[in-house]
Amino acid sequence: MATHGLAEKISSKQAIIGVIGLGYVGLPLIQAFVRGGFRTMGFDVDQTKVDKLNAGQSYIKHIDSTAIAQLIKEKKFEPTADMGRLKEADCIIICVPTPLNESRDPDLSYIEGTAHSIAKTLRPGQLVVLESTTHPTTTRENVLPVLNATGLTAGKDYFLAFSPEREDPGNPNFEASTIPKVVGGYDPVSGDLACAMYSQAVVKVVRVSSMEIAEAAKILENTYRAVNIAMVNELKMLYDKMGIDVWEVIDAAKTKPFGFQAFYPGPGLGGHCIPIDPFYLTWLARKWGEQTRFIELAGEINTHMPNYVITQLAEFLNSAGKPIKNSKICILGAAYKKDVDDPRESPSFELMKLLLKRGAALSYNDPHVPSLPKMRHYPDLPAMNSQELTPDFLATQDCVLISTDHSAYDYAYIVKYSRMVLDTRNATKNVNEGREKIFKA
């Protein structure tokens, strides 16, 4: 079947790759395709982001500004907020957010809005690939009808596929180009073209038989992690009551060379995938008249963890004759995991909300997040800047709560100058002096 010349453009690297959504997924993908020899365009509705990129400035910690500036200078990457220019791209990759709404149902408004933007300029010979994590059937039911409404036909005039993003910000061992890419096409030709495109930029392409298989694989990956984290969180709460150190238990168990993978407890789930994706699956199950009790229970346990941490904090402060109300509490870490500047779904924000509700005098420090960003689900959090961890500042705090275990922190220093330290990440395990000040939560 004819591909309107797209197959030849991809093989000769003359195809222009357009990426919609220039965040933690989109920018690394741009870099991968440029390294693969393609010219790229980046689309984002946030004009501030576009302006920064055009000025050679990166707003993501692990993406170097110098590298962005070089791509702009060499005209290998052109950021724009003008969605009317989507017609210039031969391959369009969608990397927009897929959050949950207030009732924890999937919010597909970003995907659907993007599909309508593409439809306005869709032309024969374009390939559209959705990468945003979502539930199975989204590409077929929410993107395909919008694009077909243009009068063009998928698999004949234009081509459609799904390939889930697989990013791990801050992981030095993996980046967009070195992580295998799962690809499912609307039809064989769409699958051929999507595989041909990605094979030019990533180490390995794993083709599956349909878009739904690819969508379901991503949900499985993240639900697997959510369920196992829930298990160790539940064990942690039990072992705390028994006086057993769950961290030592996990260290012992992971010495088994087969049949066990270590997962670790924490103050709650964070990031753009694990706290959200399982709820997409439970919503889909209800739609089909089924129950996913195992997954829902895991969600309940993980969602409860910030409350558990606050309860532990209350007991810790009570041992010193203090209530949470009016106590000075400094949270260490606003990012959702160590050594990144990504605050999405970080449990630290839930901890802040709960502490403010109880009347704590709240502050925070994060070497990667200098100011608290506005968060969709936490509109009432006050504006705050990261506080410098001087000896005098630490000494004035009633308790320092370690929420994110950044490598930049000197934990021995923090314990030395703090009155009390609540450690939710086992970050102080190698601190020998002042252990009487530490309480693991």
Q: Please report whether residue 229 resides in a domain.
A: no
Look at residue 234 and tell me if it is in a domain: no
Does the structure show a pLDDT above 90 at 315? yes
- Listed residue (339, 313, 342, 318) closest to 401, CA to CA: 313
Express as a percent the part of the chain with pLDDT over 70: 98
Q: What is the mean pLDDT of residues 239-247?
A: 95
Give the Cα separation of 233 and 246 in Å (integer): 9
Tens-digit pLDDT profile for residues 246-262: 999 999 999 999 999 99
User: In this model, does residue 408 exceed pLDDT 70?
Assistant: yes
One domain for residues 203 and 331: no
Checking if the pLDDT of 399 tops 90, the result is: yes
Predicted TM-score of the model (pTM): 0.90
Amino acid in the structure at residue 185? G
Domains in the chain: how many in total?
2
In a domain, residue 334? The reply is yes
Which range (46-50, 138-142, 193-197, 299-303) has the least confidence? 299-303
Same domain, 256 and 125: no
Residues 11 and 146 in one domain: yes
**Residue that terminates a domain, selected from 169, 194, 211:** 211
204: CATH? 3.40.50.720
Tell me if 281 sits within 8 A of 215, measured CB to CB: no
61 plus 142 within the same structural domain: yes
- Same domain? For 107 and 177 the reply is yes
Active-site residue identified among 91, 95, 273, 399:
273
Task: Let me know whether 413 and 266 are in one domain.
Answer: yes
Confidence of residue 273 (pLDDT cuts 50, 70, 90): low
Task: For residues 322 and 315, give the distance between their C-alpha atoms in angstroms, rounded to a whole number.
Answer: 9
Same-domain pairing of 419 and 286: yes
Residue ending a domain, choose from 211, 232, 261: 211
Mean pLDDT of the chain: 94
Question: Which range marks the domain in which residue 194 is found?
Answer: 6-211
Domain ends where: 166, 189, 211? Answer: 211
Domain shared by 271 and 336, yes or no = yes
Q: Within a domain: residue 218? A: no
Q: Are residues 199 and 268 in the same domain?
A: no
* In a shared domain, residues 173 and 254: no
Q: Would 267 be classed as within a structural domain?
A: yes
Q: Per the domain annotation, does 223 fall within a domain?
A: no
Q: Is the pLDDT confidence value at 280 over 70?
A: yes
The two beta strands, 438-440 and 127-130, are: unpaired
Q: What is the pLDDT of residues 68-101, one digit of tens each?
A: 999 999 999 999 999 999 999 999 999 998 887 7
For residue 107, name the pLDDT band (cuts at 50, 70, 90). Answer: confident
Active-site residue 273, yes or no? yes
Please check whether residue 236 lies inside any domain of the structure. no
- Could you please report the per-residue DSSP string of 88-152? G-SEEEE-----B-TTS-B--HHHHHHHHHHHHH--TT-EEEE-S---TTHIIIIIHHHHHTTT-
267 pLDDT tier (thresholds 50, 70, 90): very high
**Judgement on whether residues 117 and 51 belong to the same structural domain of the protein:** yes
